[in-house]
Amino acid sequence: MRLTPLDIQSHHFARRLRGLDPQEVETFLRMVAEDFEGVIRDVERQRDRIRELEARVSELDAREETLRSTLMTAQEVSDDLRRTAAKEAEVLLAEAEVKAEKVLDAAHRRVAKLAEDIREMRQLRTRLAASVRSAVETHLALLEGLSSDLPEDPVLDGKVAFLTGSKSAAKRAPAPAPAATEAGGA
């Protein structure tokens, strides 16, 4: 059983012959009760302080757990972001490679088309040159046929020679007559 200051003050001792001085016992019991009361107050203050400190420790433990949880969550989010960024980078790289392949294929097709166009134009130029050459030769033959049917006309022969670039026709054609003889004969 625990004693309280009141128990100490209200305790009565049995008296015996030649017993203790009741006044001295009372004074001593009062002093013990006061000291005991002070000890109890100190103990209560210490208990209150312990409760406060335990509450503070609990609060700090909760904060620590919250911080630990937050840190773990942040680490997980960071890892997720890193993985997501890596996946997005892979996707973007793959898309860029596909686009580059398409652009390269289009460029190759364009180069092939241009090469084909150049080849066709060269063939067309060759056919056109042959056609023009054939037409010129046909016209030359026609002109030669006409010139053999016509009497010799040095002016006409000079023009034909000029047009054909043929020196042989110019050699065959005599020099044009001076203009003075024509004017004098009139």
Report the range of poorest mean pLDDT among 28-37, 50-59, 140-149: 140-149
**Does 169 have pLDDT greater than 70?**
no
Cβ neighbour number for residue 25 with a 10 Å cutoff = 14
Q: Does the residue 149 lie in any domain? A: yes
Per-residue pLDDT at 22 = 77
**Does 155 have pLDDT greater than 90?**
no
- 8 vs 108, more confident: 108
**Does 183 have pLDDT greater than 60?**
no
Separation CA 144–CA 172 (nearest Å): 12
Per-residue pLDDT at 149 = 62
Q: What is the pLDDT of residues 95-105, one digit of tens each?
A: 999 999 999 99
Q: Does the residue 183 lie in any domain? A: no
**Does 186 have pLDDT greater than 80?**
no
Q: Does the residue 185 lie in any domain? A: no
Contacts 24+ apart (CB under 8 A), 28-33: 32/8, 33/5, 33/6, 33/8, 33/9
Per-residue pLDDT at 1 = 56
Per-residue pLDDT at 88 = 96
* Mean per-residue pLDDT of the chain: 84
Q: Does the residue 78 lie in any domain? A: yes
Per-residue pLDDT at 157 = 74
Per-residue pLDDT at 168 = 55
Per-residue pLDDT at 34 = 85
- Determine the distance from the C-alpha atom of residue 138 to the mean position of all C-alpha atoms in its chain, rounded to a whole number: 68
91: domain range? 5-176
Burial 115-134 (b: 16+ CB within 10 A, else e): eeeeeeeeeeeeeeeeeeee
pLDDT-derived band of residue 150, with 50, 70 and 90 as boundaries? low
**Domains held by the chain: number:** 1
Residue 141 is which amino acid?
A
Give Dmax over CA atoms of the chain in angstroms.
204
Separation CA 141–CA 157 (nearest Å): 14
